[in-house]
Structure 1
């Protein structure tokens, strides 16, 4: 949907801009010439209102003239600076909840054109711990949001609900060994899934501290893990130019464990801010449609980490 909207926005901006330019640079000079000829001949008395009427754009050009600047500003903001997204699922709980509306910084991972997504300018690369929005590798028309865990050259292991990382070591000297990512239990009664209390852990991922959820009763679905040649089940060696991502809700997230890696060409931007958060808590017998919010979570508005 986001891709379709981007393409539609580009087409509308281009169409209204062309209509406005055609009228401004081709038709308006002709209208000016006609008015000048009438005034020079003196055959018609042109008061200000009559002159404005003769110079006025047609209804289509007039509307395009009014709409084009607005569309152009929205296109620039949305394509190159910040784009709003809505969180549709719980795969990034507890960091992001269903009903959160976030801003994604589009220029964090390079400035790309809004149609073909070719990089126009390099501005930065994802860092471990970033919350990244990207095109789903198996269907680029869908936007996904996950946390960046593995950088190019890293070895990532996920086994028995424990995360291990061995950072890339191009020089081959002084390389760090495979180490477990440290985490500490926060609580086990805040979030539930199908009646099961989820464990909330605080995880230290490089310089980023964030919380994750673990379902102690759900086994790892290792039979569905992405089978990377030359590695064991649950082991992922991140190729150059690609990234390995996980959801913070570890047992309720379809992420890199199941479909592999995110190519840097698929990166959309970095999630940086929650600008609105709606809650949808209602009883099963409520007559209101499910998409109508029941409240606003003002305490969730703010920056992300």
Structure 2
């Protein structure tokens, strides 16, 4: 009896260690907190992330953590530009330009309202960094804000692959690739 119990306890510990390693290095499960990514993602959605081997790309939905915003709590945003690119935001035409090319943003919730002057409208993204925005631009603190700005790629926890919960919303989180100028 003791041998069986020891065997099962050992198997359980090994399974837990395996799960911890997988979720630490390969992928993670993270919840969406807020409405900044609507209509793509909703508050309380549970996401499966790809962590290992991920290289940031324009259009990807990512989870990141930046100490200057919400004490480093994970946030979900879309990558608008990567290192070496320039972003210009024109509120009059509701257009975001990357390297002078207007993005085709069918995923945004509604036209953007102009933000106060301290929010960026021209951003040059340094190498090793990304510029992110929420799909719900009027309800998103994102790269335009001085509290987030451009984000070092090392702050990215992973790319959102799937919505796991709630079951009625389960499915693939699609990246929207944009042509490069």
CA contact (8 A) 1:93 1:248 kept: yes
**2:73 is aligned with 1:142:** yes
Q: Which residue of 1 aligns with 2:96?
A: 163
Q: Which residue of 2 aligns with 1:78?
A: 23
Using the TM superposition, give the Cα deviation of residue 141 of structure 1 relative to its aligned residue in structure 2, in angstroms: 3.3
Which consecutive unaligned segments of at least 5 residues does structure 1 have?
A: 1-51, 110-124, 167-177, 184-201, 203-210, 226-232, 278-296
Q: Which residue of 2 aligns with 1:212?
A: 108
CA contact (8 A) 1:276 1:301 kept: yes
Q: Which residue of 2 aligns with 1:172?
A: none
- Give distance in 2, aligned partners of 1:260 and 1:157: 14
Aligned residues: 169
Q: Which residue of 1 aligns with 2:179?
A: none
TM-score (normalised: structure 2): 0.82
Using the TM superposition, give the Cα deviation of residue 242 of structure 1 relative to its aligned residue in structure 2, in angstroms: 0.5
Larger Rg: 1
Q: How does 1:184-223 map to 2 (within 5 A)?
A: 202=106, 211-215=107-111, 219-223=113-117
- Give distance in 2, aligned partners of 1:135 and 1:74: 22
User: Which aligned runs of 4 or more in structure 1 are off by greater than 6 angstroms?
Assistant: 61-64
CA contact (8 A) 1:129 1:149 kept: yes
CA contact (8 A) 1:108 1:270 kept: no
Q: Which residue of 2 aligns with 1:87?
A: 32
Using the TM superposition, give the Cα deviation of residue 78 of structure 1 relative to its aligned residue in structure 2, in angstroms: 0.3
Which consecutive unaligned segments of at least 5 residues does structure 2 have?
A: 175-181
More helix as a share of residues: 1
CA contact (8 A) 2:33 2:75 kept: no
Give the superposed CA RMSD.
2.4
Q: Which residue of 1 aligns with 2:158?
A: 269
Using the TM superposition, give the Cα deviation of residue 102 of structure 1 relative to its aligned residue in structure 2, in angstroms: 1.2
Q: How does 1:85-164 map to 2 (within 5 A)?
A: 85-109=30-54, 125-139=55-69, 141-160=72-91, 161-164=94-97
CA contact (8 A) 2:32 2:75 kept: no
* Higher normalized contact order (CA 8 Å, seq sep 6+, divided by chain length): 2
- Give distance in 2, aligned partners of 1:270 and 1:182: 21
CA contact (8 A) 2:79 2:131 kept: yes
- Give distance in 2, aligned partners of 1:64 and 1:133: 35
Q: Please give the secondary structure, in 1, of the residue aligned with 2:37.
A: coil
Structure 2 CA distance for partners of 1:252 and 1:80, relative to 1, 3 Å: same
Q: 1:302 aligns with which of 154, 171, 174?
A: 171
CA contact (8 A) 1:80 1:106 kept: yes
